[in-house]
Amino acid sequence: MKRVRTTAAIIATVALLVAGCGGSGGKSNSSDSKTFDFWSFANINQKADVDVYTKAHPDVHVKLTEVGSTTETAQALTTALAGGKVPDLVLIQADDLPKFMQSPDNFVDLTTLGAGNIKGNYLDWVMAQSTTKDGKIIGVPTDVGGLAVAYRTDLFKAAGLPTNRDEVSKLWPTWDDFINVGKTYVQKTGKPFVDNTPTSVFFQAVNQGSERYYSADHKLDYDNAQVKAAFDVTLKAFGAGISAKQGSFSSGWTAAMKKGDYAVVCSPSWMLSQMKTNAPETNGKWDIATIPGGSGNWGGSFLAIPKRAKHAKAAWDYISEMQSPQGQLAHFLSQGSLPTTPSVYTDPQLVGRTDPFFNNAPVGKIYTQSVVGLKPFYFGPQDGPIGTEFLNTLTSVEQGKVDPANAWNTALTNVKNAVRG
């Protein structure tokens, strides 16, 4: 999910970064080869990883700058690559990576630092996203976003619905079944069922197909049957009257979560930590069930080193240690991000990982099952803008600004304009 600030705010952020301002937690890296600049998104607690690394390597200093949203981070990097001061290490969200892959010479080929020896550690379909046709590796994956459904057991019980996670999972093998359960919940309680439909339905369903906005031969195809089906089931969910119309991560979303104004959030693995942070008073009231359709992935990021980085070796040392299978396992155990390293998917620490906030649900097992065997779609350079326009149109439907009958054509028009722009 991308948080959007005003254009003026983004320009100001980019200007500061390119000028070499901002950051925290380190000495100047002008001469210290063990000090490096690291640009990351905000609100994902990247500092925790940096602290782990610098504690293990007290002679290393990391100048961490949390730029802003994923979009703002990508925009700042684009500006820096055009001639400004680049970081030594940067986190790039998966939807933004394809546009940078169009100019791989802007980045260090990580095979020159040893990435070729470790590429087999990662899910092949994830690693393929950051590998050029001629075998250059531009980024190392940090996580994937397996899909599941977080639901309030107390609210389900009050509605006369099952509360056991296995029984709940059986309620919705398909999205149509999910909608029907929502209608039952609304009838029994008079309250909305799901937080919203754009992210809890569309962004889940559209990430479950074999194609998304590009065809298998890498051509733009954002109005294909699979995208249309995800869009239509979202409109059906909205039309069923089951949505609380609370946009993900908004202040209203957080307040409604605390009050129990909705019972379900379709949650990629990375969203669980945000739920715990935003609504700590709901501790123990949630559980986790299987996503309708059984599998899917929304999210994930990559660490890359710009070509003009002054301290590429120090940045690579960080990548190779923190994104090793054991490094990703440790990150999952502390932060909840799902590893991209399948060798740890059978590790007792991951398989046995439960989360008391979510009624001791086996989060490791549930989320890895949603990505194992997944047949991925191609990520293209316009994936980010296209997804944003579909999401914005569906959000406008929930806000009463777009007629559902005209929503698909409105979305396609907006997407075409965004792609041309």
Please name the residue ranges forming H helices in 323-355: 325-335, 348-351
Q: What confidence score (pLDDT) does residue 3 get?
A: 40
pLDDT tens digits for the chain (421 residues)?
A: 344 343 444 444 444 555 454 444 434 334 457 899 999 998 788 999 999 999 999 999 999 999 998 889 999 999 999 988 999 999 999 989 999 999 999 999 999 999 999 999 999 999 999 999 999 999 999 999 999 999 999 999 999 999 999 999 999 999 999 999 999 999 999 999 999 999 999 999 999 988 999 998 889 999 999 999 999 999 999 999 999 999 998 999 999 999 999 999 999 998 998 899 899 999 999 999 999 999 999 989 999 999 999 999 999 999 999 999 999 999 999 888 899 999 999 999 999 999 999 999 999 999 999 998 787 788 889 988 899 999 999 999 999 999 999 999 999 999 999 998 5
Q: Token pair 């020896």 is at which residue?
A: 117
User: Please, which residues bridge with residue 21 across strands?
Assistant: none
Q: What confidence score (pLDDT) does residue 17 get?
A: 56
CB-based contact 67:17 (threshold 8 Å): yes
Structural domains for the chain: 7-144+299-351 (3.40.190.10), 145-297+359-420 (3.40.190.10)
Q: What confidence score (pLDDT) does residue 336 get?
A: 84
CA angle 15, 416, 205 (to 5 degrees): 95
Q: What is the pLDDT of residues 83-111, one digit of tens each?
A: 889 999 999 999 899 999 999 999 999 99
Question: In whole angstroms, what is the distance from residue 203 CA to residue 223 CA?
Answer: 15
Q: What confidence score (pLDDT) does residue 238 get?
A: 98
- Element holding 75 (H helix, E strand): helix 70-81
CB-based contact 357:283 (threshold 8 Å): yes
Residues 6 or more apart from 132 whose CB is under 8 A from it?
101, 104, 138
Q: What confidence score (pLDDT) does residue 287 get?
A: 98
Q: What is the pLDDT of residues 154-210, one digit of tens each?
A: 999 999 999 999 999 999 999 999 999 999 999 999 999 999 999 999 999 999 988
User: Please, which residues bridge with residue 134 across strands?
Assistant: none
CA angle 42, 57, 316 (to 5 degrees): 65
Which is it for strands 264-268 and 297-304: parallel, antiparallel or unpaired? unpaired
Q: What confidence score (pLDDT) does residue 274 get?
A: 87
255: tokens are 């307040």
According to DSSP, residue 145 is labeled: E
